[in-house]
A and B are shown apart, each in its own frame.
Chain A
Amino acid sequence: MSIIVYTENWDGKFKKLSFELSSYAAKLAEMLNEETIAISIGRVEAEELKKLASYGIKKIITVTDDRLQTFDSRTYTKVISDICAKESAQVIIMANNNSGKSLAPRLSVRLKAAICSAAHELPESISPFVIRKRVFSGGALARTELKTDIKLITLTQNSFDLCESPVDVVIEAFTPEPEGASPAITIKEQEKQTGKVLLADAEIVISGGRGMKTPDNWGPLEELAELLDGATACSRPVSDEGWRPHEEHTGQTGKIIAPNVYFAIGISGATQHLAGISSSKYIVAINNDKDAPIFEAAQYGIVGDAAKILPQLVEAVKESKAS
């Protein structure tokens, strides 16, 4: 039996989340007294693959089939479930991102595995297998029992600390069975952001709301994000107005993120907004209304005019970098 981690790479390099998943799997493996195995789809150099071993992965199964270049959740599900069957997977761990969200539910049906999505911590007990997850957009935690023999967990990014525990690793290649049917999905065009920290991956997020007043005021906010290697985000009205691109909108109907620190600048803190960001480790609020609900969710706050405060924060970061 084994704990399987589904890793993801970006042009051959692992994302940090793959190491988070591995760290989580290694801890769970200790609880269950099992081995950890990682699956890697796509071309990744052996040197890069071995990085997983620093986080307790003992075996890596690589799949480099060209037919998997187009992400089709149905064909991916087949490949991953075949590997899980071969390795007698007991628990499968994936990220709670776009790919994890499209694969985990399918795998769950195929492997008859109960699923806990968007988990943020280890299970509280193994037998029965009970794990808590956030529900009602962070308003409560639900203690959930996964009743099937095989279990699936999707882990929220940034919710589990990296934990180094180097081990020896073996790398094996897996060749999927040929698919009969012609592909059901054809990609006509692909656009990828380059050179920018992705909102979903960012550990620091600087977000602006209607209190930023006009789209012209975003300069210092963007500068702050750049200085801190962070990503920029916004509230829904800001993207609705076209002040910022819609990919930046966080909240219940936008992106759900969990960075280490989220700066809410000129954002009132409506429940629908908080739904997307309440899992952040720290929330910093800057708002000129001392009664704004965002201060109830925040750990650090400044009551004042964003237009005056932002440039001073930029200054402060520059100074601390210089010293």
Chain B
Amino acid sequence: MNILVCISNVPDTTTKVKFADDNKKLDIAGIQWVINPWDELSLTRALELKDVASSEVAKVSVAHVGPATSEPTIRKALAIGADDAYRVNTEATDAMQVAAELAEVVKSGSFDIILCGIESSDYNGANVGGMLAEFLDYTSVSGISALNVSGGEINVTREIDGGKEQLVVKAPFVGIVQKGIAKEPRIAAMRGIMLARKKPIQVSEPKQAESATALLGFEAPPPRAACKFIDADNPKQLISLLQNEAKVI
């Protein structure tokens, strides 16, 4: 069984975002780029499944749609333990375009489980996984918080609104993962970093998929009212403010 983990390249989560070009573009100066946290966890789980004795997972690959400048992020995934990588050589413009390009990667190989994160931490789209599944006409399962493979059977836990379900899913499918899939992201060891230098990154040219949306510009979120402090000796006043002023309780 082969697993493909789709990884997006996002600003480190503590980045204070700034915009350039009259607020039309993200100001990339000084940004530390990392693997999207969800994708790091998916990769960790895929590798955990591969690393057990007599594993049924033969290979773990990663795929990324982005220009050469995102290769350090791909190398990091290889250093963590992915066997090989695919990169579609184009700037990512929106989810529809990224998913269409990823579909080509999937079709070019032989993958049983394709993992995407629930969302990218930059644009918070939560779209690529489902779109990819539809382009491929594969089943997709969202909200996966556990993934297991045994006896050729794929078992997942799916979070639903107000509960969870244990499912058996037929391959090939796209799994869209969320919290719980792995505990902590695996960290690249020195040996992994050395090995990663020799692992192959297969670069393909885009099929020039079109995007469905256009990003017109950014705005600061509306300012929130400054905090009103209530005396710690009289917390009851908070309740009356929430009842009579904010009218939320």
In the complex, what distance in Å separates the CA atom of A148 from the CA atom of B179?
Answer: 33
Would A188 and B167 count as touching, CB distance under 8 A? Answer: yes
Would B162 and A193 count as touching, CB distance under 8 A? Answer: yes
- Known A-B contacts A191-B164, A252-B37; the reply to A115 vs B246 at CB < 8 A is no
- Among B63-71, B197-205, B227-235, which stretch is in contact with chain A? B227-235
Q: Is B170 an interface residue (CB 8 A)?
A: yes
Would B173 and A281 count as touching, CB distance under 8 A? Answer: no
Would B239 and A313 count as touching, CB distance under 8 A? Answer: yes
| Complex interface residues of chain B between 7 and 30 (CB less than 8 A to chain A) | 11, 13-14, 17, 19
Q: Which residue of B lies closest to A118 (CB)?
A: B124
Would A312 and B236 count as touching, CB distance under 8 A? Answer: yes
Q: Is A297 an interface residue (CB 8 A)?
A: yes
The CB with the most chain B CB atoms within 10 A, among A112, A136, A320, is that of: A136
How many pairs, one residue from A and one from B, have CB atoms within 8 Å of each other in the complex? 269
Would B230 and A147 count as touching, CB distance under 8 A? Answer: no
Chain B positions within 8 Å of A228 at CB level = 249
Would B227 and A102 count as touching, CB distance under 8 A? Answer: no
Q: Is B133 an interface residue (CB 8 A)?
A: yes
Chain A positions within 8 Å of B229 at CB level = 301-303
Q: Which residue of A lies closest to B234 (CB)?
A: A312
Would A204 and B218 count as touching, CB distance under 8 A? Answer: no
Q: Is B160 an interface residue (CB 8 A)?
A: yes
**How distant is B183 from chain A, measured CB to nearest CB, in Å?**
8
**How distant is B237 from chain A, measured CB to nearest CB, in Å?**
8
Q: Is A54 an interface residue (CB 8 A)?
A: no
| Complex interface residues of chain A between 115 and 154 (CB less than 8 A to chain B) | 115-118, 130, 132-148
Chain B positions within 8 Å of A271 at CB level = 13-14
Say whether chain A's binding surface is mostly helix, strand, loop, or mixed: mixed
Would B17 and A136 count as touching, CB distance under 8 A? Answer: yes
Chain B positions within 8 Å of A106 at CB level = 130-131, 133-134, 140
Would B118 and A300 count as touching, CB distance under 8 A? Answer: no
In the complex, what distance in Å separates the CA atom of A138 from the CA atom of B218?
Answer: 12
Chain B positions within 8 Å of A96 at CB level = 126
**Can you name 26 A-B pairs with beta carbons within 8 Å?**
A74-B133, A106-B133, A118-B124, A133-B124, A136-B122, A137-B13, A142-B123, A142-B219, A144-B214, A147-B213, A186-B167, A188-B165, A188-B166, A190-B165, A192-B160, A192-B163, A203-B248, A253-B37, A254-B179, A261-B246, A299-B224, A299-B228, A303-B229, A313-B239, A316-B236, A317-B249
In order of increasing CB-CB distance, the 3 nearest A-B pairs are A105-B130, A304-B232, A102-B142
* Known contacts A73-B140, A145-B213, A316-B236; 12 further A-B pairs (Cβ under 8 A): A72-B139, A102-B142, A107-B134, A114-B213, A134-B221, A139-B17, A140-B220, A141-B219, A142-B218, A203-B248, A296-B227, A320-B243
Interface residues of B, Cβ cutoff 8 Å to A:
11, 13-14, 17, 19, 37-38, 95-96, 99, 118, 121-131, 133-135, 137-143, 155, 159-170, 173, 176, 179-180, 211-221, 224-225, 227-232, 235-236, 238-243, 246, 248-249
Interface residues of A, Cβ cutoff 8 Å to B:
8, 10, 71-74, 77, 96-99, 101-110, 112-118, 130, 132-148, 184-193, 198, 200-201, 203-204, 228, 246-247, 249, 252-254, 260-261, 271-272, 275, 281-282, 284-285, 295-305, 308-309, 312-313, 315-317, 319-320
